[in-house]
Structures are given as C-alpha cells and as structure tokens.
C-alpha cells in the first residue's frame, strides 16, 4: 500500500483593511482547503462571511503556535490541505507563520504562496522616497536604548528603510531616528486602504511637529530615507574613481557617474552628489 501523500500548506495573504482587495485566487483557495489556520478566528470569520465561505477554523497565533504546529503538521501529513492566514497581510512577514513554514520545508510538505496586499509595499509605493532598493525591518525593539542601537547600525545604509510601528510608540521612534540619523526625509503611512488612510511626508522634524498633539490610531508604516552620503572610506573611493574617469580619461560628468556607479555597485544618485561636491571643491 502506497504511503499517503501529504496535503498542501497555502500561505494566503488577506486584505490589510479594504476587504475588496482580496484576490480571486485567495477566495478560491479558502473555499477549497480542508482547514483554515487563522491568527484571529473572529476577524477571519468576518472575512469569510463577507464572501460566503464556510470552513473549519483553528487559531494559530504567537502564544499557541508551538502547540498548534504539532496539530497542523499532523493534519498535513494525513493529506489535508490547510490555508494559513493572519489578521492582515502575508503570514510570516512580521506575523505568525515563519516557524510553521520552516517545519513544512523540513518535512517536504508542499507549500504554495497566494500573494496579495501588504502594507510595506503599499506605503512604499506612495512615499515619494527612492524605491529602487529598500530594507524592511518590521518592528524595531520597543525599548529606546535597543532601538537606538538598531538605528545606529543602519546609519550608513543607502537603501530606503521601512519599519512597522505601533501608534503609541511612533513619536518615540521618529525622535530616536532624528537623534541618531539626522533630520532625514520620512513618510508615515497609517490605516493603509482603510477609510482614514493618511500619509505624513516631510523631514523627521516636520512630521514630528505635525503629529504633536494628534492622536494617531491604527496600523503605522514608517518609510525613512537612507543615507545620502557614503561612509568616508567609500566616499574616498568614489572621489578617486570620479577623478580618474573625468580628469584622466576626459569623460563627461554623466558618463563618469555611470561608470563609477557600475564599478563600485552603489546608486547613481550618491555618485552624482559626490561629483557635484568635487566640482564645487575644485572651483570650476
């Protein structure tokens, strides 16, 4: 007798606010699976009821995940298909699910992602900050000291930085960022896709002034400008390479910037800024 094939674990993204953002594929999967594992069964039941879906629900959240993983893996080994969902967005991305996915990989249980809405990409797309490269760090430590150490470790990163934060710690995060990183540009997006969706844009000090006295509610995504000047050793390399291409080889500013960016693997906008500083320094 052949051993029974395991079921499939579907990682299903659900709306971050507006239920109309649910995908047709997500609805089909939720209708077809044997069981749905949800971070909050009450919230997921509301989503399912909206679309007339009636399936067995089991809770799977940060506080019971170890116990639930044994149950879910047993069901998967027995051939049942399971959809994993969180309160909003994609399971495993700053939400429960990472450990279950890792165990499924170890046991060679089929895994299928069902992509959909995610707050970090939605907020990034309307931030007005560079999107060619970014770093997502989820939630930083809640204690100020630990949070500042994390921010200090990111001080020289050129990529746009993306964080999630609770409304009650938002001002503290922005103040720490201004202290450690300087008065950079920032976009603070709250309640993405919901009725009271709002984005605050400006420098850290400007946004802090706007938020002072306001009661911020709902999910918050912080998009923070990356370092706009390279570290001193990297800056020296950039300047040396620029002089080589522009002065020794006689290339134009545009051509020199393109060559240096490609050669050193850094964004063109950084190289361009250094070229302007070099030009001003030479008095030309």
Q: What is the pLDDT of residues 246-269, one digit of tens each?
A: 787 878 878 888 888 888 777 777
User: How many whole angstroms separate alpha carbon 73 and alpha carbon 58?
Assistant: 13
Q: What is the pLDDT of residue 258?
A: 86
Residue 183: CB atoms within 10 Å: 15
Q: What is the pTM of this model?
A: 0.77
Q: What is the pLDDT of residue 73?
A: 96
Q: What is the pLDDT of residue 151?
A: 95
Which of the two residues, 282 and 105, has the higher pLDDT score? Answer: 105
Q: What is the pLDDT of residue 231?
A: 57
């Amino acid at each position: 007798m052949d051993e029974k094939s395991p079921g499939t674990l579907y990682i299903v993204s659900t709306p971050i606010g507006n239920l109309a953002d649910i995908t047709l594929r997500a609805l089909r999967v939720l209708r077809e699976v044997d069981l749905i594992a949800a971070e909050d069964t009450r919230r997921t039941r509301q989503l399912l009821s909206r679309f007339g879906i009636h399936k067995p629900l089991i809770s799977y959240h940060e506080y019971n995940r170890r116990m639930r993983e044994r149950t879910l893996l047993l069901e998967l080994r027995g051939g049942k298909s399971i959809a994993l969902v969180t309160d909003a967005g994609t399971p495993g991305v700053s939400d429960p699910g990472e450990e279950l996915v890792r165990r499924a990989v170890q046991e060679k249980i089929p895994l299928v992602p069902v992509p959909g809405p995610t707050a970090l990409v939605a907020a990034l797309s309307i931030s007005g900050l560079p999107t060619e490269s970014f770093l997502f760090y989820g939630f930083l430590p809640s204690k100020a000291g630990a949070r500042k150490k994390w921010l200090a470790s990111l001080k020289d990163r050129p990529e746009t930085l993306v964080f999630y934060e609770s409304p009650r710690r938002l001002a503290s995060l922005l103040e720490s960022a201004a202290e450690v990183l300087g008065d950079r540009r920032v976009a603070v997006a709250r309640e993405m896709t919901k009725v009271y969706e709002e984005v605050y844009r400006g420098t850290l000090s400007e946004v802090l002034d706007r938020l002072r006295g306001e009661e911020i509610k709902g999910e918050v995504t912080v998009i923070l400008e990356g370092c706009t000047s390279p570290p001193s050793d990297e800056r020296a390399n950039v300047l040396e390479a620029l002089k080589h291409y522009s002065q020794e080889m006689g290339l134009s500013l545009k051509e020199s910037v393109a060559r240096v960016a490609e050669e050193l693997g850094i964004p063109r906008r950084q190289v361009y800024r250094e070229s302007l500083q070099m030009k001003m320094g030479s008095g030309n």
